[in-house]
């Protein structure tokens, strides 16, 4: 294990925890619009790095079922787009979001069991550096909460945002 690979895996785990926290916030209600806006941006950012870099890196290192994770991500982004179209105030939003949250939780757990240990143990330093740099770059698309001016993230359509971020990751870092 290299420190760089451990750091890259840790950055992904931290995003997983943040996604899980936002799923809970949207489920509970409260400031549902703001939480959903942040979730859309975070998921688009997180999955763009995984699709562009992480799955291929762990696949090269011997991970199995990489295609299944890619398939799940496409499904999740599709449902996220449907939720975005529905809007948080729609009467069907809560029920649909509950199913989505369960799907996301299973996806994150599968990655943590099947991919992240391989990333930690076997990823090349070059792959790990690329992943860490891409995470840092896409994080700039996710406004953090509690900024001095109180600005909160605006909700963005998930699929165009995801495509834009994949392009940014590919352009900024290049594929291996
Ligand atoms: Fe993923
Ligand atoms: Fe992930």
What are 16-72's pLDDT values in tens digits?
999 999 999 999 988 899 999 999 999 999 999 999 999 999 998 888 888 999 999
Ligand 1 center to 58 CA (angstroms): 12
Ligand 2 center to 116 CA (angstroms): 9
For residue 144, the Cα-to-chain-centroid distance in whole angstroms is 15
CB 94 within 8 A of CB 156: no
Residue 164 has pLDDT above 80, yes or no: yes
pLDDT digits (tens, 9 = 90+) for 65-114: 889 999 999 999 999 999 999 999 999 999 999 999 999 999 999 999 99
Nearest CA to 40 out of 84, 93, 94, 106 is that of 84
Structure tokens at 39: 């979730």
Structure tokens at 97: 């979001």
**Residue 175 pLDDT grade (very low, low, confident, very high; cuts 50, 70, 90):** very low
CB 53 within 8 A of CB 66: no
For residue 76, the Cα-to-chain-centroid distance in whole angstroms is 10
Ligand 2 center to 144 CA (angstroms): 19
**Rounded Cα gap, residues 7 and 136, in angstroms:** 12
Structure tokens at 29: 């209600």
pLDDT at 48: 96
Q: Which ligand is nearest to the CA of 14?
A: 2
Give alpha helix (H) positions in the chain.
3-28, 32-49, 55-60, 66-86, 93-114, 116-122, 125-139, 158-173
Q: Which ligand is nearest to the CA of 12?
A: 2
Averaged pLDDT for residues 7-11: 95
Neighbours of ion ligand 1 (CB under 5 A): 50, 73
**Rounded Cα gap, residues 131 and 73, in angstroms:** 18
Ligand 2 center to 30 CA (angstroms): 26
Ligand 2 center to 126 CA (angstroms): 20
Ligand 2 center to 88 CA (angstroms): 24
**Rounded Cα gap, residues 148 and 168, in angstroms:** 28
Neighbours of ion ligand 2 (CB under 5 A): 111
């Amino acid at each position: 294990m290299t420190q760089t690979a451990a750091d890259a895996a840790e950055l992904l785990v931290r995003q997983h925890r943040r996604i899980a926290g936002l799923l809970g916030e949207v489920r509970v209600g409260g400031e549902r619009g703001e939480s959903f806006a942040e979730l859309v941006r975070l998921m688009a950012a997180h999955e763009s790095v995984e699709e562009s870099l992480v799955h291929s890196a762990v696949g090269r290192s011997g991970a199995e079922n990489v295609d299944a994770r890619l398939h799940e991500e496409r499904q999740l982004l599709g449902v996220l787009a449907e939720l975005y179209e529905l809007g948080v105030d729609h009467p069907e939003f809560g029920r649909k979001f509950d199913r989505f949250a369960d799907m996301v939780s299973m996806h994150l757990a599968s990655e943590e069991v099947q991919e992240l240990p391989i990333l930690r143990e076997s990823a090349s330093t070059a792959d790990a550096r690329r992943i860490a740099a891409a995470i840092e770059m896409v994080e700039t698309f996710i406004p953090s909460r509690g900024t001095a001016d109180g600005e909160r993230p605006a909700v963005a359509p998930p699929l165009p945002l995801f495509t834009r971020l994949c392009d940014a990751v590919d352009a900024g870092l290049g594929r291996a």
